[in-house]
Structures are given as structure tokens and as C-alpha cells.
Amino acid sequence: MNLFAYIADRWDRLSLQALLHVSEVVQSTVIAAIAGVLIGVAVYRSPIGSAVATALASTILTIPSFALLGLLIPVFGLGATPTVIALVLYALLPITRNTIVGLAGVDPAVTDAAKGIGMNRLGVLTRVELRLAWPAILAGMRVATQMLMGIAVIAAYAKGPGLGGEVFSGLTRAGSANATNQALAGTLGVVVLALLLEGVYFLIARLTVSRGIRG
């Protein structure tokens, strides 16, 4: 059986796993985005706070994903929970760092004008600063998503959902029938999905970034 016949044959299972894979990555990115932006907003005004937040997030990123999952399993058991936690932790760095950079990069004259004409603190943040930092935040989310697509494969080690299961079982069964096809189908699926999500990000940027600040 060649690869295409294999994919056609197992389409039901593969497409379900693909959906689960995208779903966990997207959900993790969204959770990380909310947390990352909140952290960024909390610290961007203080250089020390910014440095500490970025350093902490970087530290998480240096933990090998295999090890992090291994550490989470005893606490949260197997399945989706440790997977999502690990993915959110990894996504935090790019999003937090880009939020801080984006907010710090807003022209002080613009925030001064916003305050000066009577916007309150929340107004300045939500209507001006975050809107201007949004392209940077979105870029952080995009990097995070791409990274998580790969890391989510490793999460199969914790019996998480997604295409990782295909890759893992294909590799462990190496030599037996369709083992290579299974591993390849999983890997290709991840690549295709990553490209699709890239397209989605492009669309989101088109629709949500003001024409006045689009590069």
C-alpha cells in the first residue's frame, strides 16, 4: 500500500486526529495569548518586570519538551491536561515577549496625546496601546502556533490527542506493515496543517490590523 492509498484508507481516523491536533494547538495558543498579553500589560512599564517576565518565559522554553511532559504526567496524569499545560507554557515566551516589545514600541507622543485629550488609563491601553501593539502580538502568536504544531507531536508521549499518536506508533512499529506510511502520514499532516494555520494568520492580520499601521 502506498502512502496515498494508506491516507485514503485511514481518512476517518487521520482527519479526526488532525482536527484534534489543530484544536489543541489553537486552544493552547489562545490561552497563552490571554495570559501572555495580561503578563505583558502588567510588566511593560517596568524595565525590571519586563526583563524578569521574558527571562522566566525563556527558561521554560529551554526545558526539553520531552522532559516537561515527563514532569507533568505524575502531577496531572495522562491525556489532554498535561499536553495543554505544556503547550501553553511553551507558547508564553513568544507571545509575552512580543507583547512587551509591542507595547514598549508605542510612540510616547501618541500615548501622551491620548492621555492629554482625556482618555482614561483603560482607554489608552485598549484603544491605543494594544491596538498599536497588535501586529507584534499577532506575530508572537503566529510563531507560538508554528512551534506548538511540532511540540504537540511529542505530546503523544503523554497520550495527548493529535497526529503525534500516528507518528509515534508508526516509529515504534518500524519494519512492520504500513509503519512508514503511518509515521509519514502523521508528519505530513502536521506540515499541511501548519501551512493552513499560517494562511489563517494572514487573513486575521488583514482583517484586524488597521490599514494605518499595516507594513
CB of 89 to other proteins, least distance (A): 32
CB of 123 to other proteins, least distance (A): 8
- Buried b / exposed e over 37-61, threshold 16 CB at 10 Å, is bebbbebbeeeeebeebbeebeeeb
Cβ closer to other proteins: 137 or 149? 137
Cβ closer to other proteins: 114 or 158? 114
**How many Cα neighbours within 13 Å face the side chain of 144?**
34
CB of 210 to other proteins, least distance (A): 4
CB of 65 to other proteins, least distance (A): 37
Give me the phi and psi of 76, to 5 degrees please: -110, 0
- For residue 160, the Cα-to-chain-centroid distance in whole angstroms is 16
Separation CA 55–CA 181 (nearest Å): 41
Return the amino acid letter for 95.
I
Cβ closer to other proteins: 15 or 46? 46
Cβ closer to other proteins: 112 or 198? 112
CB of 120 to other proteins, least distance (A): 5
Cβ closer to other proteins: 75 or 211? 211
Chain residues that interact with other proteins, rule: CB under 8 A: 107, 109-110, 112-120, 123, 128, 131-132, 210-213
CA 173, 178, 184, 187 torsion: positive or negative? Answer: negative
